[in-house]
Amino acid sequence: MVTTTFITGASSGIGSSLAIALAKKGHRVALFSRREKQLEEIKTEIEKNGGEALVVPGDVTNPTSIERAFEKIEREWAAPDIIVANAGVAHWIKTTEMDLEKAHQTIEVNLMGVINTVQLALPRMINNGGGQIVGIASAASYRGIPNLAVYSATKAGIVRYLEGVRVENNAKGIVVTTICPGFIKTPMVTNKDIPKGTPLPFMMDVEKSTKKIISAIEHKRSHYAYPRPMAILGKIGLILPNSMYDKVIIPFARWWFFR
């Protein structure tokens, strides 16, 4: 049976790379994001490789556009077996300089975008006897990160939200996979808005990252963090007392990366 996979944020970076790689593995991929032209280009690339893709433009902050996308996928193919809630934005700004508009947008896209996508997919999946929900969180979910406070909050929110969805629905055939990447070389971290000299430790190529995400999906992992050094640091960070994190880890990280 052909697997139908719906990916948000499929026009760029992690989402487009995942769409191309999953299509090569035989998935029918439905490509969702706001920039239709970029989605058409990804579809063309997938079809050149002999794969199947469907462009379903929309905005994760607008549930009606997600509903429309699901209806189109069901009309053309079938309800998605896998959804990848990947769309996200990051503003690398000091908390004192972050205006409320950007803060609201980050929460709307990163957290509400995942919730909108999952809430609309879940009843369909349960109706179909099961499915897999994949959420792209971040290593920034483990602790508050300087210059990424709102982003960290949204990613921690995704981790907790998906955990709730998992424990509530695993008996209904719903598999939930939360992915926490460290720094991945995509437009999100190569764009000009990032303050010069921002440390990007253990940065990984998007192709390598894609293989890791696919492996986590195929192995139905509930939580997967990578690259390994970042995952280890994140997990140590989780159990450290605040005094250690504030007075030792953050000053050490600043010294180490800005030497």
Ligand X SMILES: NC(=O)c1ccc[n+]([C@@H]2O[C@H](COP(=O)([O-])OP(=O)(O)OC[C@H]3O[C@@H](n4cnc5c(N)ncnc54)[C@H](OP(=O)(O)O)[C@@H]3O)[C@@H](O)[C@H]2O)c1
Catalytic residues: 151
Question: Measured from the CB atom, is 87 or 122 closer to ligand X?
Answer: 87
Tokens 């939580």: give the residue. 223
In whole angstroms, the minimum distance from the beta carbon of 33 to ligand X comes to 3
In whole angstroms, the minimum distance from the beta carbon of 247 to ligand X comes to 26
In whole angstroms, the minimum distance from the beta carbon of 39 to ligand X comes to 7
Question: Measured from the CB atom, is 88 or 234 closer to ligand X?
Answer: 88
Question: Measured from the CB atom, is 79 or 189 closer to ligand X?
Answer: 189
Question: How many whole angstroms separate alpha carbon 25 and alpha carbon 19?
Answer: 10
In whole angstroms, the minimum distance from the beta carbon of 207 to ligand X comes to 13
Residue at 106: amino acid letter: T
Question: How many whole angstroms separate alpha carbon 200 and alpha carbon 182?
Answer: 9
How many CA atoms lie within 13 Å of 86's alpha carbon, on the beta-carbon side? 27
Residues that bind ligand X (CB under 6 A): 8-9, 11-15, 33-35, 38, 59-61, 86-90, 109, 136, 138, 181, 183-184, 186-189
Question: Measured from the CB atom, is 166 or 212 closer to ligand X?
Answer: 212
Q: Is residue 91 classed as helix, strand or coil in its secondary structure?
A: coil
- Pinpoint the alpha helices (H) of the chain: 13-24, 36-48, 63-76, 100-106, 113-127, 149-169, 187-190, 206-218, 228-239, 242-244, 250-258
